[in-house]
């Protein structure tokens, strides 16, 4: 099962490469614990809390609410600045 949508970063990536995002605007929280590749991991690592991103998430194992970030595209930062053009 894959989820693709806009998400708000609620917890920045920690030392264990885990981050939490909230579906925008539904408020469902997803815990990211795995990444498709180094690019996805690096993009999430650069996101401050409050950033809005477009991501595709897939289940990471059998645990109930842990996810793998398949793709990450920054939509805006917590300051409301559109940075999508920079990522292109």
Write out pLDDT tens, residues 67-79. Answer: 999 999 877 655 5
- Which pLDDT belongs to residue 79? 52
pLDDT band at residue 81 under the 50/70/90 scheme: very low
- The chain-wide mean pLDDT, for the chain, equals 83
Rg (CA), the chain: 12
Task: State how beta strands 2-11 and 66-76 pair.
Answer: unpaired
Among 59, 78, 87, 68, smallest CA distance to 9 is for 78
Among 1, 18, 9, smallest CA distance to 54 is for 9
Question: What global pTM score does this model have?
Answer: 0.78
């Amino acid at each position: 099962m894959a989820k693709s949508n806009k998400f708000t970063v609620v917890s920045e990536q920690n030392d264990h490469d885990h981050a939490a995002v909230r579906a925008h605007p539904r408020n469902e929280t997803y815990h990211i614990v795995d990444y498709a590749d180094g690019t996805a991991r690096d993009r999430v690592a650069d996101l401050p809390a409050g950033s809005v991103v477009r991501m595709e998430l897939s289940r990471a194992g059998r645990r109930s609410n842990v996810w793998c970030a398949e793709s990450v595209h920054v939509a805006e930062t917590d300051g409301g600045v559109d940075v999508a053009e920079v990522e292109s």
